Amino acid sequence: MEQQAVLDRGADGTVLDYEAIVIGAGVAGIYQIKRLTDLGMKATVLEAGGDLGGTWYWNRYPGARFDSESYTYGYSWSKELLEEWHWKERFSSQPENYRYLSYVADKFDLRKHMQFNATVRSAHFDDAGSWWTVTLEDGRVFTTRILITGLGLLSAATPPRYPGVDSFKGQSWHTYYWPHEPVELAGKRVAVVGTGATGIQVIADIADKVGTLTVFQRRPNWSAPLHNGPITEEEMADIRSRYDEIFARCAETPGGFEHRPDKRGFYNFTPEERRAFWDELYEQPGFGIWMANFREIFMDEEANAEISAYIADRIRQRVKDPVLAEKLIPKDHGFGVQRVPLETHYFEVYNRDNVRLVDLSETPIECITEHGIRTTGEDFEFDIIVYATGFDAMTGAFDRIDFQGSGGLKLRDKWKDGPVTFLGMQVHGFPNLIMLAGPQSGSASANFPRGIESGVDWTTQLIEHVRAGGHTRFEATEAAEQAWSEHVKDMYSMVLMRNAKSWFTGYNSNVDGHEQGTIRYFVYNGGGPRYVRRLNEVTDRGYDGIEFG
Ligand code: NAP
């Protein structure tokens, strides 16, 4: 086919290995390779893991599960798939999610387009031929016209940098690398360091399975009940009959969930009425208490202080020891300004005799020893240490690959102080590179698959445009990139989240340059609908902001 020849041949006639390479076989990569191969393109996925699944391949820690309603997380693009799949739980767990993604890949015969244990070391753009050379850790080299990243937002795990981490003689790992083999927990002395969404899930899940559990908490997190439950055959039949409606609603909400922000106005209600409303939300499954709350709680200090006081009271009701309860209540940030973890009996865990909380704000960790953890107050001995210490979010996975664009420009250098992008999809200076759920994209701040599908659909359309136009090179202009990055920055000024020390703002004490909490504009806070409108506008205006050559 004449059009294809444009993409799999360099400007100098060199035959390229692929028209498109996708890095990462997670939720984004799986859908993207489906769309590319449907177009008949010569494309492959390079995946570092031993199988597909991304987040759901790696994060095998006990308690790992969705906090999106399962039926809003699944792919929406195949009616047949929607008819066939039965989500067994409202918030499905990691093994089932991994099974789901494998099922999708097998159903559409996508594995043949994927290469596993294929860790990308570098990707260099060739200016003369307008293609990318992709080199793997094992030395293999591939050429491709178009390079698409589906690296994941939270795929560069960051263990702590305490002295002695490697000297521990027991078992120890970051939650992202929880072993694939069963781990014997019964009777073991287990430590968990970190109380983010991951720590909260793992702590709640293992507390009654271990001998003793010691939680090392640097800062407590606001967190609210998940209210998981089974989905019966009848409920699933009802969900199937409403899928169009469900996905349409997700497309209308800022977070891509069914939960819709309440626009009735915080100040139009009395404090008693607000509490009654929150009582209802607190008892509802999922992110209602965060996403279906008054919009003012995200922007207005007073409104935020009131919801925070409400959630604090809930914690006090659930933790028997009042001193301990106070330690579990965040004092440095308000409810909802960091990503809210959802939990199942998390706070009740601290009423158990075998669980102890170590408050690192009082007694910081000094080092990891051969036998356990030394704080300024005490020496602890453990059999297992679990680091639930988070990720070098958004840009970390990019930094780990040596991306070099036009003229040898390094992405790492360009993004030294934070990412700048056009729509979170393209970067000026990096032609023929498209990012799925990249930093600053609207796909990256919500119910991920909903945003990912928009990103993949847009990418596929762009590639069709490139092919149809016989182009060999496309690149975001500097002006378009600047305008988008400024817009992303502006959106931060509206939300209290800008002040929080979390991965949303690029904070991570375990990564050089990220410790100080200098703000990085990682996520697009304008919401899914506005983002998709912007994507469509760009397409409708003939890819305004992208130069083709
Ligand atoms: P996180 O939110 O960044 O939390 C990391 C935790 O480790 C924090 O409590 C942090 O304390 C602590 N920590 C980091 N370095 C430490 C150190 N050197 N010493 C002591 N404590 C340290 O990471 P995460 O819990 O893995 O969650 C990341 C994101 O993944 C979530 O926000 C969410 O988007 C996603 N996630 C989703 C799900 C789900 O969908 N169900 C589940 C899990 C995670 P500080 O607060 O003091 O920094």
Q: What is the pTM of this model?
A: 0.97
Give the helix/strand (H/E) hosting 37: helix 27-38
Task: Report whether residue 497 contacts ligand 1, using a CB cutoff of 6 Å.
Answer: no
pLDDT in tens, 249-288: 999 999 999 999 999 999 999 999 999 999 999 999 999 9
d(CA 173, ligand 1 centre) in Å = 15
Q: Which CATH superfamily is domain 2-154+393-542 in?
A: FAD/NAD(P)-binding domain (3.50.50.60)
CA of 16 to the centre of ligand 1 (A): 41
Where, residue-wise, is CATH 3.50.50.60 in the chain?
2-154+393-542, 159-212+357-390
CA atoms within 13 A on the CB side of 159: 17
pLDDT of residue 515: 85
Instruction: Tell me which residues of the chain have a pLDDT lower than 50.
Output: 1-3, 5
SS3 124: strand
Q: 505 CB under 6 A from ligand 1?
A: no
Six-digit token string for 470: 């016989």
- Determine if ligand 1 sits within 6 Å of the CB of residue 388: yes
| Whole-number Å distance between alpha carbons of 247 and 71 | 9
pLDDT of residue 14: 84
* Nearest alpha carbon to residue 447 among 207, 222, 226, 251: 251
Which neighbouring-strand residues pair with 125? 132
67 lines ligand 1 (CB under 6 A): yes
Substitution candidate for ligand 1 out of 58, 69, 362, 509 with most atoms within 8 A of CB:
509
Best mutation site among 154, 175, 198 for ligand 1 pocket (most ligand atoms within 8 Å of CB) = 198
Amino acid at 420: V
Long-range contacts, 448-452 (Cβ 8 Å, 24+):
448/27, 448/68, 448/73, 448/153, 448/256, 449/27, 449/68, 449/73, 449/74, 449/75, 450/72, 450/76, 450/247, 450/250, 450/251, 450/256, 450/528, 451/256, 451/528, 451/531, 452/27, 452/28, 452/31
40-88: pLDDT as tens digits: 999 999 999 999 999 999 999 999 999 999 999 999 999 999 999 999 9
Determine the topology of domain 159-212+357-390 in CATH. Answer: FAD/NAD(P)-binding domain (3.50.50)
Contacts 24+ apart (CB under 8 A), 374-379: 375/216
SS3 call for 63: coil
Q: How far is the CA of 52 from the centre of ligand 1 (A)?
A: 24
Other CB atoms within a 10 A radius of the CB of residue 224 amount to 25
- Over residues 320-344, the pLDDT tens digits come to 999 999 999 999 999 999 999 999 9
Q: Which amino acid is at 287?
A: F
Give 196 Cα–ligand 1 centroid separation in angstroms.
Answer: 4
